[in-house]
Amino acid sequence: MTDANTALFPTSFICPDISSQLGQDYILRPLQLSDYRAGVLEVLKDLTTIGDISEERFTEQFEFLRARQGEYFIIVIEKAATGRVVGVGTLLVERKFIHECGLVGHIEDIAVAKSEQGKRLGIKIIGALDFIGQRAGCYKNILDCSPHNEQFYVKCGYSNAGFEMTKRF
Ligand code: ACO
């Protein structure tokens, strides 16, 4: 359940339509401090390496993000029966000078627990992040993904707009 005192952002950014589509079995809500123990990092392990993050370090990072109001929106889907996090996604709002000081939403770090994949939770996470982007005033949301996920994002309403370039440090 949502703990308003430790939620990363206000629940007014949570899409009511997607919440109701999820029914009784799943809860869509902002990331909260207790999600360290509810397994959010376990879900992200399916995406990439996480490293050894203590609860103290998680809390420190969480508080840094929470202080930057309107910038970091991390949502989770909790399985009601177990209280465990089974899906996660991030929208980072970038403030620009171009496009009349426009805002762009960057979708990052999307993951659904292996046992829950294929149940349309991923598409709902993207829909929920699109809702947040619109509500925050973004003129678009963008993301990078590997070719094997392209069709998933096409089904979420996204289209291929070019190449991803990277330089590792
Ligand atoms: N390729 C093609 N189609 C796909 C794929 C895929 N990789 N994944 C899902 N789909 C399709 C589904 O079949 C479904 O189609 P339908 O509408 O015809 O039924 C539709 O997309 C929606 O699928 P969901 O059930 O909502 O997808 P799921 O809940 O399994 O989540 C996700 C998809 C997030 C990619 C999941 O497989 C996952 O967590 N993978 C591992 C981590 C990962 O790769 N994350 C994305 C990284 S990119 C980023 O973070 C910006």
Interface ipTM: 0.98
Give yes or no for residue 156 CB within 6 A of ligand 1.
no
* Residue 151 CB coordination number (10 Å): 9
pLDDT greater than 90 at residue 2: no
| Residue-wise pLDDT tens digits, 125-149 | 999 999 999 999 999 999 999 999 9
Contact 77, 15 (CB under 8 A): no
Atom of ligand 1 minimally distant from the CA of 124: 26
Average of pLDDT values for 109-117? 98
d(CA 159, CA 79): 30
Average of pLDDT values for 101-125? 98
Atom of ligand 1 minimally distant from the CA of 112: 39
**Ligand 1 site-directed mutation target among 26, 123, 164, most atoms within 8 Å of CB:** 123
pTM of the model: 0.97
| Residue-wise pLDDT tens digits, 34-62 | 999 999 999 999 899 999 999 999 999 99
Ligand 1 atom 33, closest CA? 122
Helices (H), the chain: 16-22, 40-44, 55-67, 98-101, 121-136, 150-155
Give yes or no for residue 127 CB within 6 A of ligand 1.
no
Give yes or no for residue 154 CB within 6 A of ligand 1.
no
Distances (CA, A) of 26 to 20, 76, 99, 105, 161: 9, 10, 38, 25, 33
